[in-house]
Amino acid sequence: LGLWVDARERMAFMGILARHGFVRDKECAFRLRSGEIRVAQLSAEVLEVGGELCSVTVARDITEQRKAQEGLRKALQETKTAELKLEEALSQSRQREREVGALLGGARTVLETTDLTATMRSLYESCKLLVGAKAGYVSLLSREGDQMELIFLDSGGEDCQVPPETPMPIRGLRAQAMVSRAPVIENDFRNTPFPGLLPPGHQELRSVLFVPLMVEGKVMGLLGLANKPGGFTEVDAGLAMAFGELGAVALQNSRNLEALREREEQLRSLVDTAQDAIVSVDSRGLIVMWNPAAQRMFGYESCEILGQPLEILVPERLREAHRRGLSRAKEPEGTMSMGRTLEVLALSKQGVEFPVELSLAKWRSRGESFFTGIIRDVTERRRAQEAIKKAQEELEEKVVERTAELARANQALLEEIAWRSRVEEQLQSSQEELKRLSAAILSAQEKERKQLAREIHDSVGQILAAVKFATERALLELPGSEGGVRPVLEDVVAMVQGAIEEVRRIQMDLRPAVLDDLGLLATIGWFCREFQKVYQGIQVERRLQVEEQQVPDGLKIVIFRVLQEAMNNAAKHSGADRVVVGMVGGDSELSLWVEDNGKGMDLGNTASAVSHGRMGILSMRERVELSGGSFFLESEPGKGTRVGGRWSISEGGDMETRGRGDTETRRHGDAETR
């Protein structure tokens, strides 16, 4: 027997034998000397032999029997497993068969049904049955794109008191499905925040599945399923997505059909309202379309002409050529003058021939060729062309006659143009000479003023000063008892002093000595102080952003005269209580302006301009322009006045001559940088 494989098994065997005196059919494992393990069936019994107890054991090797039994058991198990798998495969096959059948039925419904609501209802019912849902709905995105519009709602027999027209905002799980463009499942809906989004009276939802309806990559609606016992699975989502795709196809077909109907209606309206005749024929040459314009043109009613051959509209002598052309057009390569406009003769119901303009097109429908012609009656145009041709011939004769006259007139015009050109050149030269003379006159006036002021100072001023000095000295030497002589002399001194001050004023008006002695900036300061002494009710503000050396010597008297005239005009005519004097100097430009807050004026009104010192304005403009600058005047009624000039300055501090007459007069805006 070899050795026991399991010692505990040996002990159990010996224990049974000791207790009962026998063992029947006990299976035990033994290892042979070769190492092989064999299974034996042991039966033993205790015997008394010669007064001693001994045991007799019978062992039967059942190893092969057990192997056979184990193989049979495994075969039976595999058979049962195969049967279970076969049953499962058959069940899955039946389910797939039901799914495929339902999808095929849905596809057939999409192809055969044009009613979108009926199609969606059929697809929903098939999907609901396969998935095992109890309720649901189908909705489409509104035209505004901000909410869903319900096509139909299936409460599954449960109480739902929400009116169908209740708005369905895009939020919650609906929004998730639309944003992700994928199915959304929630099998524990009651324990989410979403029940609070349901409208009052809505049925209870335990589990939900939302599938987007996609058209050309855009979400255009939703398929919603609810309350499946046990909850929805990914398989359910895949099935619902397949039905959703069929629903999207139905939606696209519905919209395409609607657009097709609209285009058909537009085409019908276009054909019916067209002023040109539109006629279509089939491949046999029979008329299949006839619009109202064709009826008016040819005289046939639609009921008379439809189904008749087109050749009845062609004169008899041209019908054979028409038949040959139609035969060529039927061939695959036939064009029959397609795309071109032809002039041909047509025949009316009354037998009258008339010229028409014909445009042809060829098209196919359901394998058959059709031809459409757009026909325009050109009878009146032909008559007009003949009249035009006759008029053109008459016109050509007149053109020949007029050509000679025009040639003579042209020669005379050229001579006059040459004469006018010479006169304009002379006038331009005279204007330039006049400007030079005006500049020279102003320069001479300033020199004369300067000389006169100097002579007044050196002669009259000195004489008056001497007279005053002598009179004052005489008063000092005159005894105090000289009766009425002293008062007379004192009066003489006062009058002489007044005469001296008047002489000084005249001298300063002619040419301020401070301008030559201290410069322009000091002169402006002196003049502003003197101005405020005279016009105490006007406040003067100076904004001088320029150095004395930045102002060319030849320009200083011009700037002073413009400033003087502008401030006097403001005092006399504006009614202002504030005047601003500004100067800005730079590397290339120098500007001056005087601005007041007075009543302003209407620059387009001559009377207003005159009342505001028109002559002074002209004087300022002339001085600025003759000195190479540009004059500007800005004013509006009630908004004050701003007047001044700008001059271009070279690097050496000299004036650059700008285009004379470069004057700016504007109603709005302040172009000067303060």
CA angle 98, 102, 107 (to 5 degrees): 150
Pairwise pLDDT comparison (458 vs 477), residue with the higher score = 477
- Give yes or no for residue 65 having a pLDDT over 80: yes
- Give yes or no for residue 482 having a pLDDT over 60: no
CA angle 648, 650, 654 (to 5 degrees): 90
Q: Residue 316: give its domain's CATH number.
A: 3.30.450.20
- Give yes or no for residue 579 having a pLDDT over 80: yes
Q: Is residue 449 in some structural domain?
A: yes
Parallel/antiparallel/unpaired status of strands 630-635 and 664-666: parallel
State mean pLDDT over 208-227. Answer: 90
Least confident range of 166-175, 337-346, 360-369, 432-441: 432-441
Confidence of residue 187 (pLDDT cuts 50, 70, 90): very high
Q: Is residue 603 in some structural domain?
A: yes
Q: What is the per-residue pLDDT for 615?
A: 67
Q: Residue 67, class by beta-carbon neighbours within 10 Å (0-12 exposed, 13-18 middle, 19+ buried)?
A: exposed
Q: Judge if 288 and 254 occupy the same domain.
A: no
Q: What is the per-residue pLDDT for 587?
A: 79
- Give yes or no for residue 572 having a pLDDT over 60: yes
Least confident range of 30-44, 140-154, 212-226, 611-625: 611-625
Distances (CA, A) of 6 to 9, 31, 156, 315: 5, 10, 67, 121
Euclidean distance between CA atoms 134 and 225, whole angstroms: 8
Q: What is the per-residue pLDDT for 34?
A: 83
Pairwise pLDDT comparison (660 vs 396), residue with the higher score = 396
Confidence of residue 581 (pLDDT cuts 50, 70, 90): very high
Pairwise pLDDT comparison (473 vs 352), residue with the higher score = 352
Torsion of CA 173, 178, 179, 184, to 10 degrees: 50
- Give yes or no for residue 390 having a pLDDT over 60: yes
Nearest residue to 543 via CA among 483, 613, 592: 592
Parallel/antiparallel/unpaired status of strands 218-226 and 368-377: unpaired
- pLDDT, tens digit, 9 for 90 and up, residues 485-532: 767 666 777 776 776 666 666 656 666 777 777 888 988 998 898 888
Q: What percent of the chain has pLDDT over 70?
A: 82
Contact 232, 225 (CB under 8 A): yes
DSSP 197: G
Q: Judge if 610 and 648 occupy the same domain.
A: yes
- Give yes or no for residue 606 having a pLDDT over 50: no
Q: Is residue 270 in some structural domain?
A: no
Q: Judge if 110 and 248 occupy the same domain.
A: yes
Q: Residue 539: give its domain's CATH number.
A: 3.30.565.10
Question: DSSP readout, 309-338?
Answer: BGGGGS-GGGHHHHHHHHHHHHSTT--TTT
Q: Judge if 295 and 357 occupy the same domain.
A: yes
Q: Judge if 497 and 520 occupy the same domain.
A: no
CA angle 76, 78, 82 (to 5 degrees): 115
Q: Judge if 394 and 299 occupy the same domain.
A: no
Euclidean distance between CA atoms 24 and 47, whole angstroms: 15
Nearest residue to 614 via CA among 624, 603, 630, 623: 603
State mean pLDDT over 333-348. Answer: 73
Q: What is the per-residue pLDDT for 663?
A: 41
Domain count, the chain: 5
Confidence of residue 336 (pLDDT cuts 50, 70, 90): low
Pairwise pLDDT comparison (399 vs 336), residue with the higher score = 399
Least confident range of 354-363, 406-415, 664-673: 664-673
Q: What is the per-residue pLDDT for 100?
A: 76
The pTM of this model reads 0.40
State mean pLDDT over 28-46. Answer: 84
State mean pLDDT over 553-559. Answer: 86
- pLDDT, tens digit, 9 for 90 and up, residues 230-271: 999 998 888 888 888 888 888 888 888 888 888 888 888 888
- Give yes or no for residue 79 having a pLDDT over 90: no
Q: What is the per-residue pLDDT for 657?
A: 42
Q: Is residue 384 in some structural domain?
A: yes
Q: Judge if 344 and 249 occupy the same domain.
A: no
Distances (CA, A) of 588 to 648, 650, 655: 6, 6, 9
- pLDDT, tens digit, 9 for 90 and up, residues 125-138: 888 888 889 999 99
Asked which of 321, 343, 368 is the last residue of a domain, the reply is 368
Nearest residue to 246 via CA among 148, 123, 373, 155: 123
Euclidean distance between CA atoms 624 and 72, whole angstroms: 129
Confidence of residue 670 (pLDDT cuts 50, 70, 90): very low
- Give yes or no for residue 393 having a pLDDT over 50: yes
State mean pLDDT over 610-636. Answer: 80
Q: Judge if 548 and 578 occupy the same domain.
A: yes
Q: Residue 217: give its domain's CATH number.
A: 3.30.450.40
Parallel/antiparallel/unpaired status of strands 135-141 and 184-186: unpaired
State mean pLDDT over 635-653. Answer: 84
Q: Is residue 77 in some structural domain?
A: no
State mean pLDDT over 444-459. Answer: 60
Contact 183, 241 (CB under 8 A): yes
Q: Is residue 265 in some structural domain?
A: no
Q: Judge if 185 and 291 occupy the same domain.
A: no
Q: Judge if 134 and 237 occupy the same domain.
A: yes
Residue positions counted in the chain? 674
Confidence of residue 110 (pLDDT cuts 50, 70, 90): confident
> The domain containing residue 361 runs over which residues?
282-368
CA angle 105, 108, 113 (to 5 degrees): 120
Highest mean pLDDT among 502-511, 528-537, 599-608: 528-537
Q: Is residue 484 in some structural domain?
A: yes
- Give yes or no for residue 636 having a pLDDT over 60: yes
Contact 501, 456 (CB under 8 A): no
Nearest residue to 449 via CA among 504, 502, 505, 507: 507
Q: Judge if 322 and 389 occupy the same domain.
A: no
Q: What is the per-residue pLDDT for 669?
A: 36
Q: Judge if 551 and 642 occupy the same domain.
A: yes
Q: What is the per-residue pLDDT for 208?
A: 93
Asked which of 511, 535, 555 is the last residue of a domain, the reply is 511
Q: Is residue 274 in some structural domain?
A: no
Q: For the sheet with 341-347, list strands across it.
A: 287-290, 277-281, 368-377, 353-365, 341-347
Q: What is the per-residue pLDDT for 578?
A: 93
- Give yes or no for residue 151 having a pLDDT over 70: yes
Asked which of 484, 511, 538 is the last residue of a domain, the reply is 511
Contact 152, 173 (CB under 8 A): no
Highest mean pLDDT among 96-105, 124-133, 247-256, 432-441: 124-133
Confidence of residue 662 (pLDDT cuts 50, 70, 90): very low
